[in-house]
């Protein structure tokens, strides 16, 4: 067996090929990134909520965009967080779960728009979290009263979302009983805002017409983890990265591959820089896919 090495994620030629594959038709940011196979799992969601015997409620802040995906240590500040948390018992947990799913159609989690909430100044934004616990199992919910949606996921995968609909006032009242420290609940439930005329480019799935594709300027190679090398762990990690208007990485998540290699892959990609994508003569934000390959052999 040769000395373990990390191959560069791909050569300039391979990177160019990945981008050129989408030049035949109008180029969209979504063409550069693979979609998840499924982000709606109704049966698993109903099972997890039905089995929960306690629930931790809190106020949400941070980046509320596919919070089930791993961002690595350099992306720690981008994670979703909860503060002011309080725990409710079995009876209240069952009532809350039933209210969330009552008359609900469980739809694709990918339809929930992203949102950034400052953990220092975002107290007025009505977004909350509920973590349903049963033994070692858990399901998390993000209750977005700004859009009237509840997003569900586990540590690893999305489970779907439901529209609050006629249950919004009851959900607002139930959370207010437990999170009575939050002054938002001293006021009526905020009205659901109208949808944005144009989707945010930071939302995965937003289509952006591109004149120039992003190009790598600084590529930091991944360092093979000693623990992974010792266990002969190799393979490819697929990273999805959000390239900002200045060419820096604004967000990066691990989509697939050996989990033991996630940290090394993300640590490298967070340090990459690009010549930004261009649309209508201006730099724009786009998502790109970056495969990082780890091999124990030359």
Bridge partners (DSSP) of residue 117 are 62
Task: Give the start-end residues of each E strand in the chain.
Answer: 5-6, 54-64, 80-88, 115-117, 127-134, 137-144, 149-153, 158-163, 215-218, 235-243, 249-256, 273-275, 277-279, 282-284, 286-295
Segment 56-64 shows an average pLDDT of 92
Are the C-beta atoms of residues 152 and 159 closer than 8 Å to each other?
A: yes
If you average pLDDT over every residue of the chain, what do you get? 83
Is pLDDT at 259 greater than 60 in this prediction?
yes
The verdict on 151 and 251 lying in the same domain is no
Residue that is last in its domain, among 186, 217, 243: 186
Other residues' Cβ atoms within 10 Å of the Cβ of residue 196 = 9
pLDDT of residue 136: 85
CATH number of the CATH domain containing 99? 3.30.1490
Which pLDDT band, with edges at 50, 70 and 90, does 34 fall under? Answer: very low
The verdict on 31 and 51 lying in the same domain is no
pLDDT more than 70, % of the chain: 82
Q: How far apart are CA 136 and CA 192, in angstroms?
A: 35
pLDDT in tens, 76-107: 878 899 999 999 999 999 999 999 999 999 99
pLDDT of residue 11: 35
Residue that is last in its domain, among 124, 151, 186: 186
120 lies in some domain = yes
Domain that holds residue 27: 5-35+205-295
pLDDT more than 90, % of the chain: 60
The verdict on 55 and 18 lying in the same domain is no
pLDDT of residue 17: 29
Residue that is last in its domain, among 186, 218, 234: 186
Which of 39-53, 62-76, 120-134 reaches the highest mean pLDDT? 39-53
The verdict on 28 and 50 lying in the same domain is no
200 lies in some domain = no
Phi, psi values for residue 95, rounded to 5°: -65, -40
194 lies in some domain = no
pLDDT of residue 16: 34
Is pLDDT at 206 greater than 70 in this prediction?
no
């Amino acid at each position: 067996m040769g000395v373990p090495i990390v191959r560069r994620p791909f050569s300039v030629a391979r990177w160019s090929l990945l981008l050129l594959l989408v030049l035949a038709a109008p180029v969209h940011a979504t063409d550069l990134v693979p979609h998840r196979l499924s982000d709606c799992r109704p049966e698993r969601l109903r099972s997890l909520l039905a089995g929960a015997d306690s629930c931790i409620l809190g106020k949400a802040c941070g980046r509320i965009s596919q919070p089930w995906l791993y961002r690595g240590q350099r992306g720690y500040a981008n994670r979703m967080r909860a503060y002011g948390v309080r725990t409710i018992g079995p009876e209240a947990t069952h009532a809350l779960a039933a209210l969330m799913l009552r008359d609900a159609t469980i739809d694709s989690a990918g339809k929930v728009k992203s949102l950034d909430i400052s953990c220092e100044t975002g107290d007025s934004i009505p977004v909350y979290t509920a973590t349903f616990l049963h033994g070692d199992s858990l399901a998390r919910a993000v209750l977005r009263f700004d859009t009237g949606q509840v997003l569900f996921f586990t540590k690893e995968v999305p489970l779907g979302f439901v529209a609050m609909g006629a249950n919004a006032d009851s959900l607002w009242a139930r959370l207010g009983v437990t999170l009575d420290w939050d002054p938002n609940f001293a006021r009526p439930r905020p009205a659901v805002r109208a949808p944005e005329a144009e989707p945010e480019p930071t939302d995965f799935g937003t289509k952006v017409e591109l004149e120039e594709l992003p190009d790598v300027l600084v590529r930091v190679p991944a360092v093979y983890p000693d623990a992974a090398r010792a266990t002969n762990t190799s393979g490819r990690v697929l990273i999805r990265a959000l390239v900002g208007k200045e060419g820096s990485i604004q967000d990066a998540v691990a989509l697939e591959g050996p989990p033991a290699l996630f940290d090394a892959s993300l640590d490298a990609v967070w340090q990459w820089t690009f010549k930004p994508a261009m649309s209508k003569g201006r730099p724009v934000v786009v998502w790109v896919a970056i495969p990082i390959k780890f091999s124990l052999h030359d």
